[in-house]
Structure 1
Amino acid sequence: MRIAQVAPLWERVPPPAYGGIELVVGLLTDELVRRGHEVTLFASGDSQTLAKLEAISPKALRNFETDVDPTHFYYLYLTLEMNRVCELSSEFDLIHSHIGFPFFPCANLTKAPTLHTIHGTIPVSEEHLWKAARQQNFISISNNQRRNDLGLNYLATVYNAINTKNFPFHPQPDKPPYLAFLGRMSPEKGPHLAVKIAKRTGLLLKMAGKIDPCDQQFFDTEVKPFIDGQQIQFLGEADHQMKCDLMGRAMATLFPITWQEPFGLVMIESMAVGTPVVAMKMGSTPEIIAHGRSGFLCNNLDECVAAVESLGEISRTDCRDHVVANFGVRQMVDGYEAAYQQLLQQKFMGDGHTKTIHQLKSFQRLSA
């Protein structure tokens, strides 16, 4: 099957550090190639992929220094990307977009059916755009993420994944024990709540994550004053190796979010290395954490503190087994292939073209 994967341009695919969407796109694209599909990845020129790379920008936009307004700069390259996809659309059996609503107009112009994975939440300011495109084809990354009130045409829920082979198992935490926090230094991710949990338990907290310009004031006022280099430590932005060490050696990873998190790769990354997760029961967390087996789901800070004190009940082997069974690359790509087949079947039923019959039979041979 000939598949176009359309990635965001802000980070490369896969990202060198932070970048959940680009990580998922990289895993999906490479596995589709391994399964025999012909895949073209539309992404930044510094991306690393087994697919044919259609480079839209020389490098990830995050690494550009420019005097142009960042929003205008981003949409300039986004327009170039969409124009290129439309130009080549006749070469694909299916187009899979990961860039959200900006791709909606392009999907109406392409010669191949388009599928959109919704990687984030839909803010109120964008609802009218999604309603207008509700008959297009959508994938949710958790059931909680779904906006049924908008009447979107969801084909399936496909959970994000990680390559568990890249996350070495840690059978025991370090001594003296410590708590880990990994994520953006933003109010939604709850680093300030992680600090409070550490203070109340008396445990060392090691934190890592990037600070976006829009979150600098929050970090400076709500987190930085508590970083003493002793009990509360901030390690900066983590690469993959640092991420595995930080979470793998911890007694628990804190995930005290304050918003409806649509997925949260940190949770499965932590459990994959054997470390249970203490999370707020919000958004997708009940779909990802097996309460009492791979971590704890909490309603408030008091319950988070109590959960930390109950970590001895959790088997680190069970944590990893939970991820291997539910959030591996095979499971994710199986889900997307099923959605692709469903979309082609719909197109076949809708237009009856001989070409579509050939596409469907080719896909079924590859999936056998």
Structure 2
Amino acid sequence: MSGLRVLVNAGPWLPVPPSGYGGIETVVATLVPELRRAGAHVTLATVGPSTLEADDHLRPLAEPAFRSIAMPYNRVSGIAHAHMQVLVDALRDRDRWDVVHDHLEVVGPSVLAAMGTAAPPTLQTLHWDLRKHPEFYSAFDGRGRVRFAAVSASQLERAPENLRRQTLGVVPLAAPPPLEVAAEPGEHALVLARITADKAQDVAARICRRAGVPLVLAGPVAGIDDPEELERRLADGDEALGAHPDVRYWLDEVRPLVDGTSVTWVGGVAGERKERLLRSARALLSPIRWAEPGATGVVEALARGVPVVGTPRGVLPSLVEHGRTGFLAAEEDDLVRHLHELDALDPQACREAAEQWTPAGMARRYLDLYHRLLEENPA
């Protein structure tokens, strides 16, 4: 039993667990119960509607702020700082926690490092493309009190040398266990991700239409889960929404390919609806345009015996064994061909591959890193 007191900072963007899309929040929702099961006392810093059980909660903001996340910087820069201000006030009681486990990009480590010894030692999980903020990651100095954990070796390879020196280890992401629901095998392929250019729903739509495989797109547009709400707000002239980059991508690149038959957008999904869509899919598609660092959706699919077809970027080559648990290819022509080869894959091989990424295993790795961090920073 660990006995550690851990403050897990999930940030201000989505509830934990999320009601639909929410990669980081899904990871936190998977990790916290396992930390508690291992004997840790966990305080969760999150937003008001979060329902995940923890030993204690901090709720700096009453409502999730995800719909604002891609707005211009001068409109949203205060959100993360407002969240952190409450954590700073709480952390002044230095003896409440042994370790902070942070998940708030850039703002989390910068604020906690500025607190120095007034805050407990901090481990931040790096969930994003580490080339996004080169000025920060190339110069940041956590002075041994703020250290990092990568979610994949490929992510860490892309990091600036300065950040690699301050990273304690790599902890692959795990996904929550499948829900026990019945689902008959279907004919559709599935994209399970927020609709944005990096996730390449337009590529998925083109290859499925060419292959004659029905495609279901499941995920929000600009934080909006309901297709009718999105259309209504756009029809009403919501200028801020219309200028959102994910909305422009949807309108310009994806919606023209959605016909409700060969390609369907069902909005954000969660719970049993998500489980049925995933279990019944012939394949999960991930034709990503960016170096995806963690890809919990891929782990979820494999755990259910669903193969993955995608591009060989980021973490995907370390999750998907080409020709055994899925297919990886850079060109659309090859992806179309692979959609005709899905019957050659064994669902059991997919399930066996996913056994190496369990929630309990993820928690054990993090507990090891917490203890290493505390050894480097004795009280």
Would you call these one fold, judging by a TM-score over 0.5?
yes
Stretches of structure 2 that go unaligned for 5 or more consecutive residues are: 69-73, 223-243
Q: Which residue of 2 aligns with 1:56?
A: 60
Which residue number corresponds to residue 368 of structure 2?
Answer: 338
Distance (Å, rounded) in 2 between the aligned partners of 1:289 and 1:25: 23
Confirm whether residue 141 of structure 1 aligns to residue 151 of structure 2. Answer: yes
* Residues in 1 aligned to 2:103 and 2:25: alpha-carbon distance in whole angstroms: 9
The 3 A distance-change label for structure 1 pair 52 and 73 is: same
Q: Secondary structure at the match of 2:360?
A: helix
Q: 2:190 matched to 1:173? A: no
1:272 correspondence with 2:285: no
Q: Once structures 1 and 2 are overlaid, which stretch shifts more, 273-282 or 99-108?
A: 99-108
The answer on whether the counterparts of 2:309 and 2:338 sit within 8 Å (CA) in structure 1 is yes
TM-score by length of 2: 0.84
- Deviation, 1:63, is 7.7
SS of equivalent residue, structure 1 residue 33: helix
- Paired amino acid for 2:79: Y
2:111 to 102, 105, 109: 105
Q: C-alpha separation between the residues in 1 aligned to 2:9 and 2:206?
A: 40
In structure 2, how many angstroms separate the alpha carbons of the residues matched to 1:167 and 1:183? 22
How well do the aligned residues superpose, as a CA RMSD in angstroms? 2.2
Q: 1:228 and 1:148, CA in 2 relative to 1: closer, same or farther beyond 3 A?
A: closer
Aligned residues: 341
Q: Which residue of 1 is the match for residue 241 of structure 2?
A: none
Distance in 1, Cα, partners of 2:23 & 2:313 = 19
Following TM superposition, the consecutive aligned residue runs of length 4 or more in structure 1 with deviations greater than 4 angstroms are 167-170
The structure-2 alpha-carbon separation of the partners of 1:159 and 1:30, relative to structure 1 and needing over 3 Å to count, comes to same
Contact 2:185 2:281 in 1 (8 A): yes
**1:86·1:106 contact (CA, 8 Å) conserved in 2?**
no
Which of the residues 89, 102, 114 maps onto 1:84?
89
Deviations, residues 135-194 of structure 1 (Å, cap 9, x unaligned): 431100111111443321110110111122437686x722xx222122121111010000
2:267 aligned partner: 236
Deviation per CA, 1:210-256: give whole Å up to 9, x if none.
11132111111111112111111111111232222112111111110
Match of 1:132 in 2: 139
Which residue does the alignment assign to 2:172? 159
Query: Post-superposition shift, 1:13?
Result: 1.1
Query: Identity of counterpart residues, as a percentage?
Result: 27
Structure-2 separation of matches of 1:162 and 1:6: 19
In the alignment, the residues of structure 1 paired with residue 6 and residue 278 of structure 2 have an alpha-carbon distance, to the nearest angstrom, of 35
- Residue matched to 2:314: 283
Structure 1, unaligned stretches of length 5 or more?
349-355, 357-368
Q: TM-score, length-normalised on structure 1?
A: 0.86
Would the aligned equivalents of 1:167 and 1:273 in 2 still touch at CA under 8 Å?
Answer: no
Match of 2:214 in 1: 204
Q: In the aligned structure 2, how far is the partner of 1:304 from the partner of 1:36?
A: 46
- Flag the 1:82–1:130 CA change in 2: closer, same or farther, 3 A: farther
Structure 2 CA distance for partners of 1:326 and 1:306, relative to 1, 3 Å: same
- d(CA) in 1 for partners of 2:127, 2:287: 20
Other-structure match for 1:150: 161
Greater displacement, 89-98 / 160-169: 160-169
8 Å CA contact 1:169, 1:274 repeated in 2 = no
